[in-house]
Amino acid sequence: MRITVSVDGVSYTDEVEPRMLLVHYLRERLGKTGTVVGCDTSNCGACTVHLDGHSVKSCSMFAVQADRHEVTTIEGLARDGQLHPVQKAFHENHALQCGFCTPGMIMQSIDLLADDPDPSEETVRHGLEGNLCRCTGYQNIVKAVRDAAHQMRPGAGPEAEQVAPSPSHAGGGE
Amino acid sequence: MTATAEPEIGRARLRKEDARLITGDTRWTDNIQMAGMLHMAVLRSPMAHAKITGIDVTAAAAMPGVLLVLTGEDVAAEQGSLPCAWPITEDMLAPPAPSLAVDEVNFAGEGVAVVIARSDYEAHDALAAIDVEYDELPVVLDMEAAVADGADLVHPDLGTNKSATWVFDSAEAGTGADVDQAIADAEVTVTRTFRQQRLIPAFMEPRSVVVDPGGGSITMWSATQVPHILRWMLAAVLGIPEHKVRVIAPDVGGGFGGKLQVTPEEVLTLLVARRLGKPVKWTESRTESMLSAHHGRDQIQQLTVTARRDGTVTGLKVDLLADMGAYLRLVTPGVPILGAFMFNAIYKFPAYRFTCVNVFTNKVPTDAYRGAGRPEATFAIERLMDELAVELGMEPMELRRKNWIKHEEFPFTTVCGLTYDSGNYEAATDRAMELFGYDELRQEQARRRESGDPVQLGIGISTFTEMCGLAPSRVLGSLRYGAGGWEHAAIRMLPTGKVELITGTSPHGQGHETAWSQIVADRLGVPFEDVEVLHGDTQSSHKGMDSYGSRSLAVGGTAIVLAADKVLAKARTLAAHLMECSESDVEFASGQFSVRGTGTSTALGDVVLAAHVAHNLPDGMEPGMDAECTFDPTNFSFPHGTHLCATEVDTETGAVKIRSYVCVDDIGEVVNPLIVEGQVHGGLAQGIAQALFEEAVHDESGTLTTATLADYLLPSAADLPHFTTDRTVTPADSNPLGVKGVGEAGTIASTPAVVNAVIDAVRHLGVDDVEMPCTPMRVWKAVHQGKERGVPTTPVAAGGLGSIDAQGGAE
Amino acid sequence: MIPAEFDYVAPATVEEVVRALTEAGEDAKVMAGGQSLIPVLRMRLAAPNVVVDLSNLSELTGVRDDGDSLLIGAMTTHYEVQRDHLVRDHARLLAVATDTVADPQVRHRGTFGGALVHADPAGDLPAPALAMDATMVIVGPGGRREVPAREFFVDYFTTVLEPDELLVDVRVPKLTGWSAHYEKFNRVAQAWSIVAVAAAVRVTDGTIAEARVALTNMGPTPVRATGVEEALVGQPATAESINAAAARAAEGTNPTTDGNADAEFRSHLARVLTGRALTAAVGA
């Protein structure tokens, strides 16, 4: 099947098998290897990307379902060499060790903050319940997400959008 | 001002590694693409024990995109036997361990055929077209049944399911008294049996291998913890000249011991790439990982402790059954032996005997999993100390305090003959109890008991130590381990003053690039940013023993320090030559050599450049300023700490909630407190998960029923509490950094703290054990049955004595 | 893991879907949000010849006010249900149960209709649908039919839907002004319910005027706890009467035994959790 997908701001048109998972399309066809596969059952969340501004598990979608949609991956977050505030907060709070879950964690954290720009510890923990990490015990991840919320707050509008990946996500949560 | 004004060691540096990991710029093995690369998929046995009576690959071989289909028979002549590097006894029994089963499968998940195709989609399609006929054999799953007379056998050729029996007896070793005598003389004896459930390491990055056979030698990328060991073993198993094999561990997404292995898939990918002359990739699915990567733990532990009425312990006897699974992998038989010296823990037992029987079953082999042997030991002794406290009617912390090694007694030689170099159990415990609010929680516990609150409060203690920094080579030799325990470091001083550090450690999340840069920056006075750490490639880092057993800093870090000292020693000589002074007048600080009492100085960078151009060297001095060191430790290191856990146990549903968790660890000096804290958090999560969530379950036919992450329960952020962590510092005497290692501490200490807390919450309801993981059903049934037994439910005073019926606790 | 090959169609109208299903017969699988189906396909536990994707049926998305009822389009995502003000106001039980479904990413893709048709005994939406006396609006080659929830769920992962039929809407009678709670008991946040209880009550002047209670995972299909409901009506909204009624929660259930819980424990949990669900609902 022929599909046209926008990924990290670039439009791609490709012939794909209907059964091709979105994550395999990103990794194998587009070379977007920043998004990874950690399980078969959608439990681990390592493959999380944004579809039209909302977090989804790219291992539980077919590439054909992304036809005429906009995908943002971890590779599309930084803008003009500027890290997204959530990326920066993960670094500054030591919220990663092996880093395999990190792309999915960051993508889900951004989604979570779009829904709740000032989440409690409890809200963050529940907002990340679809993402597994085996290294950190989550404590610094939770800290990083709340830190990012503080960093983003003054400019939750325009400033965050400047480094946000896709304008469509800035209005996420609706 | 130089860049080292603030000491690098002890500084909470943000990690160098993060830049690529937070942007998706990582080099995972599965990211590798090569022109002409083929994909391998493995067909796995659904049977736990069967004869293979026929395999028909005709249909699969004819499918589109399929280049090759191989069965075990096709590779039998070249696949060799997967290595076991730790034959623990002279008479240990070990079956041949093929990478691909030839005529018999011995666990469900064992590979029986491989497909090599143009794409992984096509390879997987072809797997479905392979027809295998099996003739079922009796399945051996239960260890106790496996060692009984007349048991069905996993490997009938061996004549038994017992692989080996390993004994340590303090009386025989001359390190202590006779435990049978201690039992005969005992005023109090408590015997308990604990079960260490089978666990799955469940690193987040599934394993992946790429082999490029081109260019006259073989290059393997693998998601491994042990590139150096892997290269050696590939050469040994396959007879390939070692100098024609290069192994690269690129970015590796976690290991926890689970990637301390030489895997069937590494061997097979190499064999098929060599056969086809093309690069081949194999990447496992999560389910494959759960079914075929080695598991951990799985022991039945029977312990007897003896004591005097005043609480002084007099003897400890340990009998283990350890499940090997179907084959002996790299260090499978040695894992329980790593625990042998740790059951006595921090206590002054005068008599000790440890016996371990290693048992074959039709399950995936076990091997290293975070802590490897030591969590099992720590769990058992810390659970047992609580049971002894109940038996004696003593406060559990007081019992521990009475028996542990006092800080003034270090160095202390234990009943196992190990010398603990340093420690201060009192300091760590006092700090932990203060942070925890121990007395207040005991009071709340008493109130809840008294009021019959459906949610009961429990307090769990774990005062642990571990041996890490693996390991003195001489000791490993005496334990019949097949390799040494040293580590290597080399420092390349580049002409521009930048530094390349080459290490034989192989990180997979630990942050070595950051911490090792700090060590080098600290010793040489160069900026942190000017150090590049090279690792995980046997071509650039040709010599190493890799990362496991909390060894990297204590052993590998020491090698770095000693290599840096060699650089400085040579630089000092050259600096003296250049500044035309006596070497004894040269001082070094913050990257500058200066002549004592004068204003003359020269920067290390200038000395390095002088060494590089070699225009003006002292007679006989070689050009260049590089140095290397191989460090072999003389002792293990012994981190310790006190972990306290408060759980709320819902007696109506059996649900357990951790209300607070406090740990104070003493891991000696700290290079990077940020990394240390992260290691502790992650360790706690894994130890808590053993206590409450994780368990590999097989059905009666030997099928793993927890083969996905939907069934094998890893906790998410929503399932874990906030941890309160702190440290005390008693420097290790065994290395110049004074460090002990932190990779496994959290995992080792936390499991018994949680289980002790669960039982403490409901002990007054007649509960004295709950098997791990403490699921709601197990907890509820324990409470329910305890109530039915009619055990007195008299509230007990603060102090948490549990049932003070002196005879009630013992069996 | 990689699904087996299949043909894929994504029709734009319900009629085209029905036609596609009629042509494909038993070999087709309907994909709504795909959050249960795709893992199953990846594990090759199912290998349909045709996957009929409903993503293009925008007509099946959204919640409409239909007088005494809400009409919830089968393709409305969990995320949309959670945030819909009509659902919050008139079907609170559904809103709070949906909050507990899977995780945020799955709730962005997974759909209300998909979850009902999947009919997983441990799924969190069949019981609320049953408790609220929802009606399934089904379209097939023979036209439309409506099936009440109590007849819709037939067995494990089985509903009355024929292979060529499609759930298009769910009619949920408004329970305006009722209080509600979904009490879910599982081992980790991501895990399926061992047992869960959906409870909605209408309290007038401190007396329980009406009560609806349904149980998740107490049998092959969701179960209405009618004994509990009967015992509650007319009683004061107090802990005593709630607990007395909750004691009847396991009546008529047929709980399974698995690694997480045996039948005895499930029955016990049903009683305890029913008490808790009702207590939370009435705020007693």
Q: Which amino acid is at C200?
A: A
**Interface with A, mutate which of C43, C79, C105, C188 (most A CBs under 10 A):** C105
User: Which tens digits make up the pLDDT trace of B398-448?
Assistant: 999 999 999 999 999 999 999 999 999 999 999 999 999 999 999 999 999
Q: Give me the mean pLDDT over the B194-204 stretch.
A: 98
- Give the number of other CB atoms < 10 A from CB of residue B799: 18
B705 touches chain C (CB under 8 A): yes
C94, C132 contact by CB (below 8 A): yes
B601, B433 contact by CB (below 8 A): no
Which chain A residues are closer than 8 Å to B679 by Cβ?
97
For residues B406 and A166, which has the higher predicted lDDT (pLDDT)? B406
Minimal C-alpha gap between A92 and chain B (Å): 6
Minimal C-alpha gap between B775 and chain C (Å): 8
Chain B residue with CA closest to C265: the answer is B777
Which run of H or E residues covers position B259?
none
A141 touches chain B (CB under 8 A): yes
Chain B residue with CA closest to A17: the answer is B121
Coil/strand/helix, residue B456 = strand
**Interface with B, mutate which of A26, A49, A94 (most B CBs under 10 A):** A94
Coil/strand/helix, residue B481 = coil
Q: Report phi then psi at B589, rounded to 5.
A: -155, 140
Burial level of B144, CB count in 10 A (0-12/13-18/19+)?
exposed
Whether residue C198 sits in one domain with residue C170: no
Whether residue C163 sits in one domain with residue C208: no
CB contact under 8 A, C4 and B125: yes
CATH number of the structural domain A85-170: 1.10.150.120
Which chain C residues are closer than 8 Å to B120 by Cβ?
2
Instruction: Grade residue B1 by pLDDT with cuts at 50, 70 and 90.
Output: very low
Which residue from C19, C188, A111, A158 is spatially nearest to B776, judged by alpha carbons?
C188
pLDDT at A155 over 70: no
C-alpha angle with apex B66: B60 to B72, nearest 5 degrees?
Answer: 60
pLDDT at B30 over 70: yes
Which chain B residues are closer than 8 Å to C44 by Cβ?
128
CB contact under 8 A, B23 and A83: yes
Which residue from A110, A116, A111, A59 is spatially nearest to A89, judged by alpha carbons?
A110
User: Which tens digits make up the pLDDT trace of B690-722?
Assistant: 999 999 999 999 999 999 999 999 999 999 999
Which run of H or E residues covers position B203?
none
Q: What is the DSSP annotation of B311-371? A: S-EEEEEEEEEEEEESS--SSGGGHHHHHHTTSSTTB--SBEEEEEEEEE-SSPPB---TT
pLDDT score recorded for residue B5: 60
Q: What is the DSSP annotation of B517-549? A: HHHHHHHH---GGGEEEE-SBTTTS-----S-T
pLDDT at C235 over 60: yes
Chain C residue with CA closest to A50: the answer is C105
CB contact under 8 A, B716 and C269: no
pLDDT score recorded for residue B252: 98
Whether residue C190 sits in one domain with residue C140: no
Whether residue C118 sits in one domain with residue C10: yes
d(CA C236, CA A166) in angstroms, rounded, equals 54
pLDDT score recorded for residue B114: 98
d(CA B377, CA B461) in angstroms, rounded, equals 15
B107, B101 contact by CB (below 8 A): no
Which residues are CB-neighbours of B790 under 8 A, at least 6 positions away?
A: B766
Q: Give me the mean pLDDT over the C250-270 stretch.
A: 97
d(CA A37, CA A46) in angstroms, rounded, equals 6
CB contact under 8 A, C35 and A40: no
Q: Which two tokens stand for residue B345?
A: 């823990």
pLDDT > 70: percent of chain B: 97
pLDDT score recorded for residue B786: 81
pLDDT score recorded for residue B586: 97
Chain B residue with CA closest to A128: the answer is B717
Minimal C-alpha gap between B353 and chain A (Å): 36
Q: Report phi then psi at B553, rounded to 5.
A: -75, -50
Which residue from B581, B570, B565 is spatially nearest to B611, judged by alpha carbons?
B570
DSSP B615: S
CB contact under 8 A, C34 and A1: no
Which residue from A95, A101, A139, A148 is spatially nearest to A121, judged by alpha carbons?
A139
Q: Which two tokens stand for residue B450?
A: 């008294």
d(CA A124, CA A113) in angstroms, rounded, equals 9
Beta bridge partners of B456: B649
Which residue from B555, B263, B15 is spatially nearest to B546, judged by alpha carbons?
B555
C155, C221 contact by CB (below 8 A): yes
User: Which tens digits make up the pLDDT trace of B145-163?
Assistant: 999 999 999 999 999 999 9
Domains and CATH numbers, chain B: 18-24+486-631 (3.30.365.10), 32-137+204-254+259-292 (3.90.1170.50), 456-467+636-792 (3.30.365.10)
A112 touches chain B (CB under 8 A): no
Q: Give me the mean pLDDT over the B566-578 stretch.
A: 98
The domain boundary, picked from C159, C175, C191, lies at C175
d(CA B253, CA B509) in angstroms, rounded, equals 7
pLDDT score recorded for residue A171: 33
CB contact under 8 A, A91 and B19: yes
Which run of H or E residues covers position B423?
none
**Interface with A, mutate which of B20, B204, B693 (most A CBs under 10 A):** B204
Which residues are CB-neighbours of B594 under 8 A, at least 6 positions away?
A: B586, B587, B588, B600, B601, B602
pLDDT at B255 over 50: yes
Which chain C residues are closer than 8 Å to A21 by Cβ?
2-3, 38, 42
B125 touches chain C (CB under 8 A): yes
pLDDT at C58 over 50: yes
- Using DSSP bridges, classify how beta strands B280-283 and C166-173 pair: parallel, antiparallel or unpaired: unpaired
Chain C neighbours among B 262-321 (CB < 8 Å)?
A: 285-287
Whether residue C41 sits in one domain with residue C160: yes
Chains that touch A (3 or more CB pairs under 8 A): B, C
Instruction: Grade residue B390 by pLDDT with cuts at 50, 70 and 90.
Output: very high
User: Which tens digits make up the pLDDT trace of B326-379?
Assistant: 999 999 999 999 999 999 999 999 999 999 999 999 999 999 999 999 999 999
**Interface with C, mutate which of B652, B698, B704, B785 (most C CBs under 10 A):** B652
pLDDT score recorded for residue A154: 64
Minimal C-alpha gap between A83 and chain C (Å): 23
Buried b (16+ CB within 10 A) or exposed e, B159-181: eebbbbebebbbbeeebbbbbee
Which chain A residues are closer than 8 Å to C10 by Cβ?
64
Q: Give me the mean pLDDT over the B387-403 stretch.
A: 98
A22 touches chain B (CB under 8 A): no
User: What does pLDDT average to over chain C?
Assistant: 97
Which chain C residues are closer than 8 Å to B125 by Cβ?
2, 4-5
- Sign for the CA dihedral angle at B468, B471, B474, B475 comes to positive
Q: Report phi then psi at B275, rounded to 5.
A: -65, -40
Which chain B residues are closer than 8 Å to A140 by Cβ?
677-678, 681
pLDDT at B138 over 60: yes
Q: What is the DSSP annotation of A69-89? A: -EEE-GGGS-BTTBPPHHHHH
Q: What is the DSSP annotation of chain C? A: --PPP-EEE--SSHHHHHHHHHHHGGGEEEESS-TTHHHHHHTTS---SEEEE-TT-GGG-SEEEETTEEEEETT-BHHHHHH-HHHHHH-HHHHHHHHTSS-HHHHHH-BHHHHHHHT-TT-SSHHHHHHTT-EEEEEETTEEEEEEHHHHEEETTEES--TT-EEEEEEEE--TT-EEEEEEE-SSTTSPPSEEEEEEEEEETTEEEEEEEEEESSSSS-EE-HHHHHHHTTSBSSHHHHHHHHTTTTTT------SS--HHHHHHHHHHHHHHHHHHHHT-
CB contact under 8 A, B678 and A98: no
Whether residue C149 sits in one domain with residue C42: yes
Which chain A residues are closer than 8 Å to C104 by Cβ?
55, 108, 111-112, 115, 127, 129-130
Q: Give me the mean pLDDT over the B29-57 stretch.
A: 98
Chain C residue with CA closest to B706: the answer is C259
Which chain C residues are closer than 8 Å to A172 by Cβ?
none
CB contact under 8 A, B777 and C261: yes
d(CA B388, CA B461) in angstroms, rounded, equals 13
d(CA C201, CA C237) in angstroms, rounded, equals 10
Which chain C residues are closer than 8 Å to A168 by Cβ?
none
CB contact under 8 A, C261 and B705: no
pLDDT score recorded for residue B795: 38
A2-76 maps to CATH 3.30.420.40? no
Whether residue C276 sits in one domain with residue C148: no
Beta bridge partners of B531: B499
Residue of B31, B206, B509 with shortest CB distance to A135: B509
The domain boundary, picked from C121, C140, C175, lies at C175
Q: Which amino acid is at A45?
A: G
The domain boundary, picked from C175, C192, C216, lies at C175
Whether residue C197 sits in one domain with residue C155: no
pLDDT at B806 over 60: no
Instruction: Grade residue C183 by pLDDT with cuts at 50, 70 and 90.
Output: very high
pLDDT score recorded for residue C257: 96
Q: Which amino acid is at C73?
A: G
Angle between helices C263-282 and C239-246 (to 10 degrees): 150
pLDDT score recorded for residue B789: 75
CB contact under 8 A, A42 and C41: no
How many domains is chain C built from? 2
Residue of A24, A45, A115 with shortest CB distance to C105: A45
Q: What is the ipTM of this complex?
A: 0.97
CATH number where C156 lies: 3.30.465.10
CA atoms lying within 13 Å on the CB side of residue B216: 1
As a whole number of Å, the end-to-end CA separation of chain C is 49
Chains that touch B (3 or more CB pairs under 8 A): A, C
Chains that touch C (3 or more CB pairs under 8 A): A, B
CATH number where C225 lies: 3.30.390.50
Q: Range(s) for CATH 3.10.20.30 in chain A? A: 2-76
pLDDT score recorded for residue B787: 77
Minimal C-alpha gap between B751 and chain A (Å): 14
Q: Which two tokens stand for residue B682?
A: 């992650």
Whether residue C248 sits in one domain with residue C187: yes
d(CA C116, CA C103) in angstroms, rounded, equals 17
Which chain A residues are closer than 8 Å to C42 by Cβ?
21, 40, 59
Structural domain harbouring C203: 179-282
B245, B92 contact by CB (below 8 A): no
CB contact under 8 A, C187 and B775: yes
Coil/strand/helix, residue B498 = coil
CB contact under 8 A, A98 and B674: no
Q: Report phi then psi at C24, rounded to 5.
A: -80, -25
Residue of C187, C189, C192 with shortest CB distance to B776: C187
Q: Report phi then psi at B145, rounded to 5.
A: -65, -35
Q: Report phi then psi at B46, rounded to 5.
A: -80, -10
Minimal C-alpha gap between C191 and chain A (Å): 9
**HEC assignment per residue over B134-176:** EEECCCCCCHHHHCCCCCCCCCHHHCCCEEEEEEEEHHHHCCC
Minimal C-alpha gap between B797 and chain A (Å): 34
Whether residue C146 sits in one domain with residue C221: no
B254, B227 contact by CB (below 8 A): no
Instruction: Grade residue B2 by pLDDT with cuts at 50, 70 and 90.
Output: very low
DSSP B637: B
Whether residue C132 sits in one domain with residue C192: no
Whether residue C211 sits in one domain with residue C113: no
- Give the number of other CB atoms < 10 A from CB of residue B277: 9
Q: Give me the mean pLDDT over the B310-315 stretch.
A: 98
Q: Which two tokens stand for residue C35?
A: 């959050």
Instruction: Grade residue B793 by pLDDT with cuts at 50, 70 and 90.
Output: very low
Q: Which two tokens stand for residue B343?
A: 């059951």
